[in-house]
Amino acid sequence: MQSMLTARLHHIDEPMRLEYLPIPSPGATDVVVQVKACNVVPNLKNVLATYAEWFPYLPLPKLPAVFGLDSAGVVTDVGSQVNDVQVGDRVYVNPGLSCGSCRACRQGADQNCDSYTFMGYFAFGPGGQKLFDAYPYGGLGEYLTAPQRNLVKLPDSVSFEEGARFGYLGTAFSALRKAGAGPGTTVLIDGISGTLGLGACLIALSLGVTHIFGTGRDEALLADVKAIAPDRIDVKSTLTGDLRGWVHEHNGGTGVDIVIDALGPGAPAESMLEAISTLRRGGIAVDIGGMMERPQVDMFSMMCSQISLLGSLWFSTGEAQDMADLAGSGVLDLSVFEHHTFPLEKINEALDSLPARHGGFTNFISVP
């Protein structure tokens, strides 16, 4: 039997072990994908080292396990009941797995499934282990299996390295769609220079958002973000001045239509509250960053101003395909990313000593 190289984690807070496992065969409605690029998400080190502290309520797969969240590659084998997918197709694998039979799944709302699980990462409920068992391989291996319904076909103009960034991009894409982003709307992205925030900026540009405001702490990074589209992007350091007043000054005396909060678990709650204060009447704030502090929200004020506050988790495969098609047409420009690749054999060294990040512009990729 042919074998494949994998990097498996046996114990939390220990290095991964390079091991050979059998190349899997597909189930009837599954495919086998040869991984060409796997995104090494900035949070992976935290998940593997301090998991119990950061995410005590999100179950990991039983160890040993092959991790790796965002994978892109080439289909090498298909099951007997697979349709519209062929060997040789270039694909991104949406790692979001659901049970397929609960009310949420039957309504097409996979992310609301109580068993929703990120293949190669963690689950959102106790039913996740059954899905880990069905699809045990993340992207830190040479091959993986996936349901056909989780495949996003990549246009030839989208590289595997760009495809492996789709997790962060798709998260922003879904959030902006939920909020009704498009021509004539204005958006504030809290944390615009980070991995999620920069993706939200690129998506907002591709959706035709008229004006994008962004916050961050590093003024040099903020300047690089503004340079992407100087006539449509304005940026401000969170270390200086009044954010609400600044937005009104640069937005015709009114607030923004949408706030995307892209700040991560360590961010202070005050930052989100300040961002929400920039919304106009009827505006929508969407949290995608996973900030873990608990802000004291003024619900009476939000009610009177008809402000909506949403949480948005991941994205559907259909949304990811729409996003891929935008990139394929050139409307979504992914050329700003700076890809840093390393071989799978160097995964432990890479996690320990990744080079300095250029904010969200940097894209760390494992290449099996």
pLDDT digits (tens, 9 = 90+) for 272-291: 999 999 999 999 999 999 88
What values do phi and psi take at 22, rounded to 5? -65, 140
| Model confidence at 319: pLDDT above 80 | yes
* pLDDT confidence tier of residue 339, bands split at 50, 70 and 90: very high
CA dist., res. 225 & res. 344, Å (int): 31
What angle, 0 to 180 degrees and rounded to 10, lies between the N-to-C axes of helices 166-178 and 317-329? Answer: 100
Which domains occur in the chain, in start order? 3-165+337-367 (3.90.180.10), 169-311 (3.40.50.720)
pTM, two decimal places: 0.96
CA dist., res. 69 & res. 94, Å (int): 9
Cβ neighbours around 306 below 10 Å, total: 12
Rounded to an integer, the average pLDDT of 204-223 is 97
CA dist., res. 92 & res. 66, Å (int): 18
Contact between 117 and 144 under an 8 Å Cβ cutoff? The reply is no
Q: Which two tokens stand for residue 221?
A: 């990074």
| Helix segments in the chain, DSSP class H | 44-49, 51-54, 103-106, 128-134, 160-163, 166-178, 195-206, 219-226, 243-250, 269-276, 299-304, 317-329, 347-352
CA dist., res. 200 & res. 245, Å (int): 23
**In this predicted model, what pLDDT tens digit does every residue of 168-203 receive, in sequence order?**
999 999 999 999 999 999 999 999 999 999 999 999
CA dist., res. 284 & res. 261, Å (int): 11
pLDDT at residue 46, as a whole number: 67
> What is the distance between the terminal CA atoms of the chain, rounded to a whole angstrom?
19
293 CB contacts (<8 Å, ≥6 apart)?
A: 267, 268, 269
Q: Which two tokens stand for residue 137?
A: 């391989």
State the pairing for strand pair 70-78/90-93: antiparallel
304 CB contacts (<8 Å, ≥6 apart)?
A: none
Q: Note the Cα 324 to chain centre separation in Å.
A: 14
CA dist., res. 20 & res. 17, Å (int): 10
In the chain, the percentage of residues whose pLDDT exceeds 90 is 86
CA dist., res. 344 & res. 59, Å (int): 25
Contact between 176 and 269 under an 8 Å Cβ cutoff? The reply is no
Rounded to an integer, the average pLDDT of 153-167 is 98
CA dist., res. 304 & res. 219, Å (int): 35
CA dist., res. 189 & res. 197, Å (int): 6
- Mean predicted lDDT score pLDDT of the chain: 94
